[in-house]
Structure 1
Amino acid sequence: MTAPADRIAAVQTARKITSEILAQALAFPETKTESAVRADILKGLSARSQLYPAGWYDPPTQGISVLWGMNPFERLQYNSLRDKQFWPNNSSRFEKETVGHVYASSVDRQTNMIGDVALTIYAGTRNDIKKHIRACHDAILNAAEYLEVGKSLSDIYTHAIGHFQSRSLKIGWMTTVQDPYQTNLGHTIPGSYGEELDFGGTFFEIREAIRTKRIFINEGTTFKVPSTCAVTIEARLVDTDERLPNILFHFIVTFSEGKKKICANFDDIFSAMDMKYMYD
């Protein structure tokens, strides 16, 4: 048996390790293809004994997504990362003005807790894109800050949608065919609250348990945040200005006996990409 507090700690640690892996994979992205960066991420996962060597959100293959978008950024206008045309490929190469979406869906070996990380990267020269990325990051972070013990997931969703709309933003996509409402703001992390789950023995069974046991943050979910749990806050935001790219960020919010922590863990990645504008 794994104590609830240890499961929450596993989420936090998996998130931190995954962020470190992404920072290493993105340290020198120039001219790298999407597939090459995915390979570097998978190599990093395999080198960390705490994590499984592939991600749970599969497809895309091995639970990793890397997308490079150039103006007018069609590559970032996906309905689902599961769509094969948006899997990492060998033809899209990172260039100076590339806007990238990177996602890794890691799983802790001991507890089967997930430590997903997803974000938008950009090291180009357009100030409007830099401001847009920062604004979307802050808007999604606002939803993570609003999340509290005792609040219903539908309340959190309604707050976030209103906040996005006040900033001329809307959710363009958020996972999943499992969610009857289609559009959502994230989900609970299975096994992070309540009784310990039986995830099964094989990695396929573990992946399926994670996929099917999530409770989504949407307009119809009455589930209330318990005092010990972990929840993802994630969105791909679309601006009313169609010249700007879609922006993806993913946070994890943990509660351990009511003590809240927002897991961002983006700093090393921002530093690797020289994204100083995220600190201004």
Structure 2
Amino acid sequence: MSDMISAIERTRETAASIVSSTLTNYQRKTEQEIRDCVLEEMARHGELFPRGWYDPPPGGVSILIGKERMAFDSLRKPKYWPRSDIRYSADTPTMIYVSPVDRATQMLGDFGLTIYQGSDTAIQNHIKQGLSAVLDIAECARIGMSFADLYAAGREALAQRGFEHARISTITSNAGDSNFGHTVPWSDGEAPPGELLIDQLREKIRVARRFINLDEHYVISPTCAFMVESRLFDREKPTLPNILFHVIVTFSEGRKRVLTNFEEIFKQVGMEYML
């Protein structure tokens, strides 16, 4: 197995562990307090850079609590950075995203999910169907497929479940562009840029990404990795919150894996409806 792919899978597992450790004591904490706990946990892992690559938001970590906050158009905007006046409660859906980087290989292990401990079955089913929709996109991916074709297949998969994908603006794509994720740079054999500080590496990662969108002709190779992520909403049911899940697809010499690492967290926070 490629060392780079192994590093991605390992870093993703570590990211899930960091989130799990944070969620052992998070009730009534603010967005900022939860974010700070994530960064404290990340700093305990010497194999990782102490901050994530997707910065801003500060530290490469996003915590958004509540329906209005989860309807973001860009995590980079200061209005969507973690706040000190919004607290978690069990009946409020919450999004958590972290973007760790392995020091030795510079591979990414991004991790994101929606948690909800409330009893509203409509929200529960909405979240469950949303994760299934993201996994549907990931399952469409195959060797030799272009990102443009994967994007088209993904849109069809979402439509079959009644979801739409929210347009999110990023630094390296035009405002309003729609995409379902991007490559893990240098996972397909190209040499990473060498030893850099995270602030220097961050920009290299940003510009090296290839996005899963309608115009991208990047072809999935036998060894590569890419993120599949989507902020989903149901236009027919506007009272339901937007939801986000973030998975990583790896190919190693033709062997495909879809990295979720959600199950233990679902058990931990009492989201049995997701199991």
Shorter-chain-normalised TM-score: which range?
Answer: over 0.9
| Residue 177 of structure 1: how far off its partner (Å) | 3.0
Question: Within 1, Cα distance between the matches of 2:274 and 2:258?
Answer: 17
Match of 1:256 among 237, 248, 252: 252
Contact 2:106–2:192 (8 Å) recurs in 1:
no
Equivalence for 2:269: 273
Identity %: 38
Q: Is the 8 A contact 1:174 1:185 kept in 2?
A: no
Query: Aligned ranges for residues 1-280 of structure 1 at < 5 Å?
Result: 5-69=2-66, 73-174=67-168, 176-180=170-174, 182-199=177-194, 201-240=196-235, 241-279=237-275
Tell me the SS of whatever aligns to 1:173: coil
Q: Which ranges in structure 2 are unaligned for 5 or more consecutive residues?
A: none
Report if the CA contact (8 A) 2:51-2:198 is conserved.
no
**Partner SS, residue 46 of structure 2:** coil
CA contact (8 A) 2:31 2:83 kept: yes
**Count of aligned residue pairs for this structure pair:** 273
How far off its partner does 1:175 sit?
5.2
Q: Distance in 2 between matches of 1:202 and 1:82?
A: 21
Distance in 2 between residues matched to 1:148 and 1:205, nearest whole Å: 33
**In structure 2, what residue type is equivalent to 1:85?**
K
Which deviates further from its counterpart, 161-170 or 259-268? 161-170
Runs ≥4 residues deviating over 4 A = none
Paired amino acid for 1:31: R
Aligned-CA RMSD value: 1.2
Q: What is the Cα deviation at residue 204 of structure 1?
A: 1.3
CA change 1:212–1:110 in 2 (3 A) is: same
Helix, strand or coil for the counterpart of 1:249? Answer: strand
| Corresponding residue SS for 1:62 | helix
By how many angstroms is 1:96 displaced?
2.1
Shift of 1:205: 1.4
TM-score using structure 2 length? 0.96
Determine the C-alpha separation between the residues in 1 that align with 2:168 and 2:140: 19
- Give the secondary-structure state (helix, strand or coil) at the position aligned to 2:2: helix
Tell me the alpha carbon deviations over residues 70-98 of structure 1, each in whole angstroms, 9 at most, x when there is no partner.
xxx11111110001011001111011211
* Contact 1:114–1:189 under 8 Å retained in 2: yes
